[in-house]
Structure 1
Amino acid sequence: MINPAYNKNILIFLLSSIGLIALPHAYHLPLPVFGFFAVLLVWRFLGVWQPQRLPKGLLLLLVSVGGLALLYSQHSGILGRDAGTSLFLIALGLKLMEIKSERDLYLVNYLAFIVAASQFLYEQSILMAAYILFVCCVLFATLVFINSYVANTRVALKKASVIIAQAIPMAIAIFILFPRVEAPRWLLFNQQQQAKTGLSDSMEPGSISDLGLSDELVFRVKFTGAIPPPQLRYWRGPVLSQTDGKRWTQAKDLSYQQRAKATFSGTVYQYTLLMEPQDKNWVFALELPAALPKTLRQNAVLQLLSVDALNQRTEYSLSSYAQYNTGASTPQEIQQAKQLPATPSYKMKQLVRQLGGFDSTPEVFIGQLLTHFRQQDFHYTLTPPLMENNPVETFLFETRYGFCSHYASAFVTLMRVANIPARVVTGYQGGELNAVGDFLEIKQAQAHAWAEVWLDKQGWIRVDPTAAIAPERIEKNIDINQLLPGGAIHYVAPSSEAQAAFNWLQKTRQLWGNVDYSWQRWVINYNNANQSHFLSSFGIEDFKDMVYWMGAIIAVIVATLSGFLLYQKPTTVDHTLIVYKRFLKKLAKAGFNQGVGEGARDFAERIKPKLPTHAPSIEEITEAYLQQRYGVKASAVGLQHLKTLVNHFKI
């Protein structure tokens, strides 16, 4: 049974630890499941002071059956990441209802460690890792409570922290050198609800503007050399060729075979791209990638697609050129890029004729149309008016307020009216520079749409109508504080005090962003390939070398810790232990010896039945010794009291 003197302290400490461990799951698991666990936890807390209120017999059986029924109703089974985590959480809550012995405390403790580890199935940030390390330290302190009779929370936490700190160097060595075992795909949990993406494989007026204020990270980019200027940072995504007049979609026939080989010239940009989890297999490369890793494919419209699902962070090394020629196109591709949902209206044809679309070269018409956007009172806004019917004409001839999707769709439509092949390209434009780590962060706020036009002997060329009407959108990142109530861009010069505060906050944010980026690259994304690359720089090439190095480093760590423990300076004389050993000698003369590794309390419980007349004295001496040596109320008076008890003890 649990020692009554420490029962309440142990339970309160353990239940508090479990509450901390389960707390992050409130964000991930269904509310009824977490609510059921919370009720059980509160119920068990009340049972610390009123044990008679805990469920027993039939009531406990009904509560258990209810928990299983709730689990099945929320997940339709027990397989998968969410269902498995919910199962462990509910099992932990039910086990709390029947704590009767130290064995139950151990089982609850070990189950709580599993629940803590399951948090990494949802989030792997450095903050979450620090939080889980903290709660595991608190949970480990519970084991210290149970095994050493430490009634002081601070002392228990200190002991647990020291033990964990001693284990960290060995954990780091094993993490770096132990072979990375990649789980088979059929063993991976379905994490689709965790995967995120902002862009869609279709576009409607205003669909991209919905992302304009989102601070959600999409990917990070680290360049080997110079970073391209903002006007060249176009990160290519889905290409949309089909339209019904309102909605733009991808062409149906998009094979992985490129129609012609692109040629490149000018500056090459080499970079490492770290994608955040998403539910699509799209990889947003800088236009236009030339060298691709084996895990990427390029479809007919030059969009990069991953062979594997991107439901976890994935890193790619790429090379791109800002100057390129996409090469010849197929008749089918040209035909798709001329498709119109209906015969153009008179106003549309008149505008194209006015701008020279029917008579001049495509290059001249493109220039005239961009000039038209600049000079005819068009406005760039994140909150354009609603355009339900015929949105392109409504935008061109009535509202003249739009986001990048409005300008791109209107531009491509006018190109097609002039019988010039054109299509919409979606992706991201720009990127916020982290000056501390010298890398770019691309967020959903940088979601963008632009146009591609087919020109003879030049291939598909990029034309961005947004750059004509709002060049600051391309040259700077939009700040939500610079938006007027209508959504138009408005730059206000801040005061010197506000600017200083902003600079400090930005530097702090970038510093943290750099720490998080390094954590994601070198810890979370430390897979087989990264391990091989890292270890090869130290001359560790194969499995045998890894094992030798790991064994050697662990041996050095163990020897260092052992030496530290064995050759510490002598501590002060423990008078309490000296007095207790006098007590043990008196018992030894009567034939009662303390066993190797046997604690003071266990020894007392073993010999009391054999010395019933001395049992009260043995119990009193043992409690005084434990309190004086491990408790919070140790004092000279307590030591003197222990001496008096031992002096008067006789067999």
Structure 2
Amino acid sequence: MQQTINQRSIIFLLICIGLIALPHALHVPLPVFAFFSVLLVWRFVCVWYPAYLPNQLLIFLLLLSGISLLVIMHQGVFGRDAGTAVFLVALAMKLLEIKTLRDVYLIVYLAFIVAATQFLYLQNILMAAYILLVCVSLLVTLIIINNANQSNLASLKTAGKILFQALPLMIILFIFFPRVEAPRWSFLQNENQAKSGLSDTLEPGSISQLGLSGELVFRAKFIGDLPPNAERYWRGPVFSYTDGKKWTQTRNTYFKRYLDKVSFTGKPYQYQLLMEPQAKNWVYGLDMPATYEWPLQENGNHQLLSSEPPGKRAEYKITSYAQYNTGYITKTELSDNLQLPNQVESRVEKLVTQLGGFNAPPEIFINNLFAYFRNNEFYYTLMPPLMNEKPIETFLFDTRAGFCGHYASAFVYLMRVAGIPARIVSGYQGGTFNATGDFIEVRQANAHAWSEVWIQNKGWVRYDPTTAIAPERIEQDVNIEQQIANNAVSFAPIQLDSQTLSLLRQARNLWSSVDYNWHHWIINYDRRQQFSFLSGLGIDTLRSMLYWLMGLVAVVTIFLAIYVLRKQTPVLDKAQIYYAKACRKLAKTGLIKQANEGANDFARRVSAQLPDIADSFDHITQLYVQIRYAKQTEGVTLEQLKSSASAFRINKNKG
């Protein structure tokens, strides 16, 4: 006989399904989520009006509609977004077919899969807590379905006990189970996910577009002293070719076998770099990176690249030096970094001549150029005027207002006019120190561009022309978030005092520290992290790891078995309490219910030995059995059982 589901269980299940699917409103196409929502609301209505449930023909038409919607929205069934949408549509369709316990079990298992797909989009601690909440709700749903007379609170306690018992095994498996890198099938990767950040081309105003963005790029946790803010140059792509407006990397960027070996001096900085998901496989090492681990590699411009696909958080151990010498310059480098786009204007040549570019040593020309920027009313601004035609000349002689990209472009151009090899380096500069987590946070607002000039016997030397105009941008530990807040203050509906802002900043630092440790120890606990952690415990081989895994699982399983199987005093519900009250009255006559004796069997024994009270005790027994074991309990209440047990009397002269 098929078991039916009561109304309370269905309502609880539908609420859980709605909570599970809610975050996907931001991930799947709106028509797909609307289709799911309509079917969910439809099923809610049918809880009270079952006559409105669709027939088989209508369900078939809805299925065709769902399939058509998936094909139109995703043009296929492969990939993260398409797969998630398939599960959502399947879950919605199944909700219309709830008839038996088997249907409910299938829906719950499908809902667990949909809950897990949330981690394909977000892996932060808030999402983990949310998914834990909805999964506990699903577990409570299963408990309620299998024990309709148990209260919601009691079901929640049971679910909590089950999770608590599973927690030790979960921790052991997480730490010791060997990490296996899954193959990265190209058709399962999401290539269209929008990610902001630095581009592989540079135009004078491009970096300024990031100047007010508080989006996190990476965090760096140093072992030992922090580098001063003036040395926090995080190296990104290097641009050598220009058409007069735009700067790009040359095709010789990735050839480094003819480069001289970099020599490092001074103090090393060791740090762990936790990168946020990026659109490119660029890794922003502190200038200049010296040692690093796989999967990092270095191109011909000393930029770090990851051999793993971008688009996920990744952590790397790097050592950098602030003092270095890149050695000689190759013929290819010389040609690439002396390239000019067109005929040099006479006023540009006049300026280079005036500053000693054609006859003075490079260092003197550079110092004169810095002084020229300082003494001729040049301005640093996040919102420079448009310079569509000849942007370098317009900036130098007309507007004289710009962001770091304008100054770096003009500086490198003038160097090349003077016959001095120069190039632009983009990346990030500075970063805000989080005292709570003891790490540096670098955001998109820290995006920066500077210059490198090749000097005889020194190699490529960093020169940042922005320091001539806005030295505070480089030399001070600028709070980028405060700058963003100050720029937006005119739009704020209320003004916050300094104490409130300080408390908010402390709360943000605390949350950022929690988030960092979550990603460092949980999300990024991959094969490398696992080997590093277990090696510190003396577990340095796969065999020893498996021995520890099997041993700890066996020990925990034994303890759990002892805990679960040990003799416990049963916890009675109200129906059992009232029934036990009647049984205690019978015990005074010598009739004692045995532990392995069913209620109906005991009632027959009472009828045989005490026929005068058989009817009253049989009534109590039937009420108890119907409340405890029957799925349909209409017309039977605990109050009836309570009053019958209380009114139950035995003639002491009998028996």
TM-score (norm 1): 0.88
Q: In the alignment, residue 79 of structure 1 is paired with which amino acid? A: F
Aligned residue for 1:395? 395
Shift in CA distance, 56/151, structure 1 to aligned 2, threshold 3 Å = farther
Aligned residue for 1:87? 86
Q: Please give the residue correspondences for 1:503-518 in structure 2 after superposition, counting only pairs within 5 Å.
A: 503-518=502-517
CA drift of 1:590 comes to 8.9
Q: Per the alignment, in what secondary structure is the counterpart of residue 124 of structure 1?
A: coil
Indicate conservation of the 8 Å contact 1:150/1:156, yes or no: no
Indicate conservation of the 8 Å contact 1:197/1:218, yes or no: no
Shift in CA distance, 313/409, structure 1 to aligned 2, threshold 3 Å = same
Measure the CA separation in 1 of the matches of 2:407 and 2:63: 60
Indicate conservation of the 8 Å contact 1:208/1:448, yes or no: yes
CA drift of 1:252 comes to 1.8
Measure the CA separation in 2 of the matches of 1:81 and 1:46: 32
1:330-354 C-alpha deviation (Å, 9 max, x unpaired): 1221121111111121221222222
Aligned residue for 2:601? 588
Q: In the alignment, residue 476 of structure 1 is paired with which amino acid? A: D
Aligned residue for 1:239? 238
Shift in CA distance, 537/585, structure 1 to aligned 2, threshold 3 Å = closer
CA drift of 1:231 comes to 0.5
Aligned residue for 2:615? none
Shift in CA distance, 393/21, structure 1 to aligned 2, threshold 3 Å = same
Measure the CA separation in 2 of the matches of 1:462 and 1:187: 39
Asked whether 1:107 is paired with 2:106, we answer yes
Shift in CA distance, 391/122, structure 1 to aligned 2, threshold 3 Å = same
Aligned residue for 2:578? 576
Asked whether 1:639 is paired with 2:642, we answer yes
Q: Please give the residue correspondences for 1:521-560 in structure 2 after superposition, counting only pairs within 5 Å.
A: 521-560=520-559
Aligned residue for 1:208? 207
Q: Please give the residue correspondences for 1:116-131 in structure 2 after superposition, counting only pairs within 5 Å.
A: 116-131=115-130
Measure the CA separation in 2 of the matches of 1:264 and 1:163: 57
Aligned residue for 1:477? 478
Measure the CA separation in 2 of the matches of 1:395 and 1:267: 38
Q: Which moved more, 1:191-200 or 1:172-181?
A: 191-200
Shift in CA distance, 85/577, structure 1 to aligned 2, threshold 3 Å = farther
Measure the CA separation in 1 of the matches of 2:365 and 2:446: 28
Shift in CA distance, 2/228, structure 1 to aligned 2, threshold 3 Å = farther
Shift in CA distance, 626/286, structure 1 to aligned 2, threshold 3 Å = same
Q: Per the alignment, in what secondary structure is the counterpart of residue 6 of structure 2?
A: helix
Q: In the alignment, residue 445 of structure 1 is paired with which amino acid? A: A
Aligned residue for 2:446? 446
Indicate conservation of the 8 Å contact 2:176/2:548, yes or no: yes
Q: Which moved more, 1:192-201 or 1:360-369?
A: 192-201
Measure the CA separation in 2 of the matches of 1:339 and 1:498: 53
Shift in CA distance, 299/517, structure 1 to aligned 2, threshold 3 Å = same
Measure the CA separation in 2 of the matches of 1:163 and 1:220: 37
Q: In the alignment, residue 643 of structure 2 is paired with which amino acid? A: Q
Q: In the alignment, residue 343 of structure 2 is paired with which amino acid? A: T
Q: Per the alignment, in what secondary structure is the counterpart of residue 33 of structure 1?
A: helix
Indicate conservation of the 8 Å contact 1:195/1:277, yes or no: no
Q: Please give the residue correspondences for 1:90-489 in structure 2 after superposition, counting only pairs within 5 Å.
A: 90-150=89-149, 152-186=151-185, 189-194=188-193, 196-258=195-257, 259-474=259-474, 475-477=476-478, 479=480, 481-482=482-483
Indicate conservation of the 8 Å contact 2:446/2:480, yes or no: no
Q: Per the alignment, in what secondary structure is the counterpart of residue 185 of structure 1?
A: coil
Measure the CA separation in 1 of the matches of 2:388 and 2:111: 54
Measure the CA separation in 2 of the matches of 1:206 and 1:32: 38
Indicate conservation of the 8 Å contact 1:381/1:489, yes or no: no
Measure the CA separation in 1 of the matches of 2:330 and 2:88: 57
Aligned residue for 1:608? none
Indicate conservation of the 8 Å contact 1:408/1:449, yes or no: yes
Indicate conservation of the 8 Å contact 1:214/1:443, yes or no: yes
CA drift of 1:619 comes to 6.8
Measure the CA separation in 2 of the matches of 1:22 and 1:586: 45
CA drift of 1:376 comes to 1.4
Shift in CA distance, 566/61, structure 1 to aligned 2, threshold 3 Å = closer
Aligned residue for 2:612? none
Shift in CA distance, 226/195, structure 1 to aligned 2, threshold 3 Å = farther
Q: Which moved more, 1:315-324 or 1:558-567?
A: 558-567
CA drift of 1:96 comes to 0.4
- Tell me the percent identity: 49
Q: Per the alignment, in what secondary structure is the counterpart of residue 173 of structure 2?
A: helix
Extract unaligned runs of 5+ from structure 1. Answer: 593-614
Q: Per the alignment, in what secondary structure is the counterpart of residue 72 of structure 2?
A: helix
Q: In the alignment, residue 141 of structure 1 is paired with which amino acid? A: V
CA drift of 1:442 comes to 1.2
Q: Per the alignment, in what secondary structure is the counterpart of residue 511 of structure 1?
A: helix
Measure the CA separation in 1 of the matches of 2:483 and 2:520: 33
Q: Please give the residue correspondences for 1:48-87 in structure 2 after superposition, counting only pairs within 5 Å.
A: 48-87=47-86
Measure the CA separation in 1 of the matches of 2:194 and 2:533: 28
Q: Per the alignment, in what secondary structure is the counterpart of residue 48 of structure 1?
A: helix
How many matched pairs? 616
Q: Per the alignment, in what secondary structure is the counterpart of residue 454 of structure 1?
A: strand
Measure the CA separation in 2 of the matches of 1:430 and 1:55: 62
Indicate conservation of the 8 Å contact 1:445/1:478, yes or no: no
Aligned residue for 2:611? none
TM-score (norm 2): 0.87
